[in-house]
């Protein structure tokens, strides 16, 4: 019997959010300002397996610790959180921690990475799944997290490239384009 495989597909780029990230093939994708939701087909966002991703500029300067405290108190107040540990993504220091709790009487596990890319640019990646799906989903979360690249958000829609990477300026604000597939066996 073969093990099902999950592969990463195209790259999602958001000028407003200031990042790019590889998406999971065949997951349902819903975009919102500065981010997106991505869930396994035929599942509910409430339980996953899925992702919530958000980035962009904020009005006041914050540290990673201040962002962690603010975000977890507001968005994850019904979950138990482990103490976050320092982690780097695309050379930028952030905080990574696990959480668990109940969503409508279903036990849900998850991981949260967040960072202040600079003093006023935030990025948040949440991955979550029900208890029986978590061990298969956790490597997918880790794989997606490793694909994140940061840029300077530009609300004027004229792209400014922090790392001087080549970007086709004629592309729309949000672009998905094919890349080499990466597979993980759950």
pLDDT, tens digit, 9 for 90 and up, residues 84-121: 999 999 999 999 999 999 888 889 999 999 999 998 99
Given this model, what pLDDT does residue 61 score?
93
Lowest mean pLDDT among 14-23, 82-91, 142-151, 156-165: 156-165
**49 strand-pairing partners:** none
Given this model, what pLDDT does residue 140 score?
94
Question: E-strand spans in the chain?
Answer: 6-14, 19-24, 28-32, 35-39, 50-57, 80-81, 85-89, 92-103, 106-118, 121-130, 149-150, 174-177, 182-184
- Taken in order of first residue, the domains within the chain and their CATH numbers are 20-154 (3.40.1000.10)
pLDDT band at 135 (very low <50, low <70, confident <90, very high): very high
Write out pLDDT tens, residues 2-21.
Answer: 334 678 888 988 888 899 99
- Number of alpha carbons in the 13 Å side-chain half-sphere of residue 168: 7
DSSP H helices in 26-88: 64-75
């Amino acid at each position: 019997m073969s093990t099902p495989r999950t592969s990463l597909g195209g790259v999602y780029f958001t000028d407003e959010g200031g990042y790019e990230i590889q998406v999971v093939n065949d997951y349902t994708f819903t975009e919102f300002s500065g981010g997106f939701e991505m869930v396994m087909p035929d599942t509910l966002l409430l339980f996953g397996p899925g992702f919530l991703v958000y980035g962009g500029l904020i009005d006041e300067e914050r540290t990673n610790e201040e962002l962690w405290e603010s975000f977890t108190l507001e968005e994850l107040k019904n979950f138990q959180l482990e103490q976050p540990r320092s982690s780097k993504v695309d050379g930028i220091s952030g905080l990574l921690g696990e959480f668990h709790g109940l969503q409508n009487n279903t036990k849900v596990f998850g991981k949260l990475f967040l960072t202040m890319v600079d003093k006023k640019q935030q990025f948040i990646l949440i991955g979550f799944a029900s208890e029986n799906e978590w061990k298969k989903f956790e490597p997918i979360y880790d794989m997606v997290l490793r694909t994140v690249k940061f840029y300077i958000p530009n609300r004027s829609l004229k792209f400014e490239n922090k790392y001087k990477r080549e970007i086709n300026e004629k592309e729309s604000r949000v672009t998905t384009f094919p890349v080499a597939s990466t597979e993980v066996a759950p």
